[in-house]
Chains A and B, each alone.
Chain A
Amino acid sequence: MKRHDDGPIKPPRPVRDGVALAAAVGVVGVVFGVLARSAGLSVAQACAMSLLVFTGASQFAAVGIVGAGGSGAAAVGSALLLAARNTLYGPVVERWFRRDRVVVRAALAQVVIDESTGVGAAQTTDADRRRGFIATGIGVYVLWNLGTLVGAVAGDLVGDLERWGLDAAFPASFVALLAPHLRHRPGRVAACSAAAIAVATVPVLPVGVPILLTAVGAAVALIDAERRAGFEPATEDAP
């Protein structure tokens, strides 16, 4: 595997794309704030969740369970199952910040989420990966928290997320972030295997588990690549 700088799909521009994603996330943050209040959280609690937990899907799951009368333990269990995939992003992101001090990496760990990893991993140079990750991570952090505050204080001004089609905006964003990975065969094999695993497991397994299982797609792609090439280890500049 080597770098492909001249493929048919232009890689996303790191900072611009980070800001675009952050803006969309900010709107969802408002919805989270509203939902948190209606589930019985105080404004301070809603804001504390976005500041400290900072994992959108987990926060929605936790608030949804508590709002429906579930226990705190059930909320924590489901939410952390959704947060577990961030562990898989760590080794991907860590390479871009290997030379930074421990305290910097510990701070950056808080913004290791789908969006920041996605924009970072879609770039073609390490400098752009860092730029994309930081711009998206900080942008999303600021706007998610601002959105939460507005939603928690101002209440139900936004209405239903679904009325605005925002639930389609996020999967579509990931189509854009996935595109650069599809330029070489291993990326395509990984994505197709993972999609097949997700289609088979999303309807039947608890939320959070299917995404963890899709990581198997990466192993499938590696096995495929080794079979085709004889064993030829890829280097770290892929993809």
Chain B
Amino acid sequence: MSWATIVALAAGAYAFKAAGVFLGARLPTTGRPAALVALVPAALFAGIIVQQSIGDGSAAIVATRVLGVAVGGVAVWRKAPLFVVIVVAATVTAVARLTLGA
């Protein structure tokens, strides 16, 4: 990879982040735009969960990953701290793969 590619990536990635922050400052803080902004995290995080759960990998990799995420979800429901959720999800998935030879 050339340094020019890295510089282009860095400039582009920062431009996206900064555009959101500085253009966002021009959005009204009440009414519909504000209500929409407040709902963006719920929508994007749900999308990220789906994308990262089923996005890539063989059937066995995806199935064991979904199992880990589901058990992690139970930990969330049982009000476990985030650290516990992370460890539970990774451990369940790792053990399931070891067992299945996936």
A residues at B contact (CB < 8 Å): 1, 9-10, 12-13, 16-17, 20-21, 24, 39-41, 45, 48-49, 52-55, 58-59, 62-63, 66, 72, 75-76, 79-80, 83-95, 98, 105-106, 108-110, 112-114, 117-118, 121, 162-179, 181-182, 186-188, 190-195, 197-199, 202-203, 207, 210-211, 213-219, 221-222, 225, 233-236, 238-239
Contacts and interface: CB of A to CB of B under 8 A. Distances in A.
B24 A90 contact: yes
A17 B77 CA distance: 16
A89 B51 contact: no
If over half of A's interface residues share one DSSP class (helix, strand or loop), that class is named, otherwise mixed; here it is helix
Interface residues of B, number: 78
B42 A182 contact: yes
A168 B42 contact: no
Nearest to B2: A72
Interface in B1-60: 1-10, 12-14, 16-25, 27, 29-32, 34-55, 57
Given A109-B21, A118-B45, A221-B42, A168 B90 contact: yes
For the complex of A and B, 9 pairs with smallest distance between CB atoms: A90-B20, A91-B24, A172-B72, A214-B47, A168-B68, A165-B93, A172-B89, A165-B94, A217-B43
A211 to B, nearest CB: 5
